[in-house]
Amino acid sequence: MYQSIFKPGLFEGRAIVVTGGGSGIGRCTAHELAALGARVLLVGRDSAKLDAVRAEIAGAGGAAHGYSCNIRSEEAVRELVAQMVAAHGPLHGLVNNAGGQFPAPLREISQKGWEAVVQTNLTGGFLLARECLNQSMAEHGGAIVNIAADMFGSMPNMGHSGAARAGMVSLTETAAFEWAQYGVRVNAVAPGYIASSGMDQYPPQMRDTIRVFPRTVPLHRFGTESEVAAAITFLLSDAAAFITGSTLRVDGGRPNVRPGMPMPAPRQAGATAPFNGFHLAATPRVLEGG
């Protein structure tokens, strides 16, 4: 079973949509929410992956349903949300996690490549949030968590994604203001370097770069998927009832590094040991071995 630090039954009777629920942080979050009693509505493009996660969650005693949808399509998102409301009633939460990008320096990114990433990482999230609000949450309130990224300062070789994720932070702030009147809270989580299956999507020549990322992090390690899921879970929960418009960084302090300042490794390894509550967590291939 998932080892959540949150109270059993926290989300009993609530339906929570998780986009990008077929892998990585989305899959881990879906498991945690289901372990806490939520009915999880998994959204993604690849129905085989959604099916696999749905079966994993069912095997652990939770409730999940898969919905295949291209979140870049306004019409598809409108229909998806209508279908979910018809089948499950009020939607209480949305985790806008689906995303994708490819490494490239700005000068080599075509308009098509740029727009594909912005549509997936920003526009799709906007469409999901707007439809969940208009078709359900405006009537009864809810909580939305948008997944951004550690694009603070810059995001070299990921300029399209950095621009889209920074847009997610601004979208979060505006939606928090406009939707407070409906009792809908909107926050963001910005993960840094997380040991997640997403790391295996990058080309093999990035292996050496990825493996030394922890040297640039004050806590000197990668984060775990469940450390991100815990932040999302908290923001969805009633304990965060007075938090809206915030971006919670989960990055071991990476944006606080000052170039040229010595950065000693933490002295007591145990004090900064990773939290890993996900019973199915696996080391990404890129980090395996010495």
- Write out 73-86 in H/E/C secondary structure: CHHHHHHHHHHHHH
> Considering beta carbons, is residue 162 or 214 the nearer one to ligand ADE?
162
CB of residue 118 to ligand ADE, shortest distance in Å? 12
Which CB sits closer to ligand ADE, 69 or 171?
69
**Judged by CB, which is closer to ligand ADE: 33, or 35?**
33
State which residue, 79 or 139, has the beta carbon closest to ligand ADE. Answer: 79
Cβ nearer to ligand ADE, comparing 69 with 164: 69
How far is residue 27's CA from residue 227's CA, in Å, rounded to a whole number? 13
To ligand ADE, the closest distance from the beta carbon of 109 in angstroms equals 17
The least CB distance from residue 99 to ligand ADE, in Å, is: 6
User: Least distance to ligand ADE from the beta carbon of 120, Å?
Assistant: 4
Smallest gap, in angstroms, from Cβ of residue 53 to ligand ADE?
13
Minimum Å gap between C-beta 171 and ligand ADE is 17
Q: Which residues bind ligand ADE (CB under 6 A)?
A: 19-20, 44-45, 69-72, 98, 100, 120, 124
What Å distances lie between residue 287 and 29, 177, 215, 280, CA to CA? 21, 41, 14, 17
Residue 146 and residue 129 in contact, taking contact as beta carbons nearer than 8 Å:
yes
Residue 135 C-beta: closest distance to ligand ADE, Å: 18
Choice between 10 and 33, CB closer to ligand ADE = 33
Which CB atom, from 70 or from 247, has the smaller least distance to ligand ADE? Answer: 70
CB of 167 to ligand ADE, least distance (A): 16
Identity of the amino acid at 43: V
- If the CB atoms of residues 29 and 120 are measured against ligand ADE, the closer one turns out to be 120
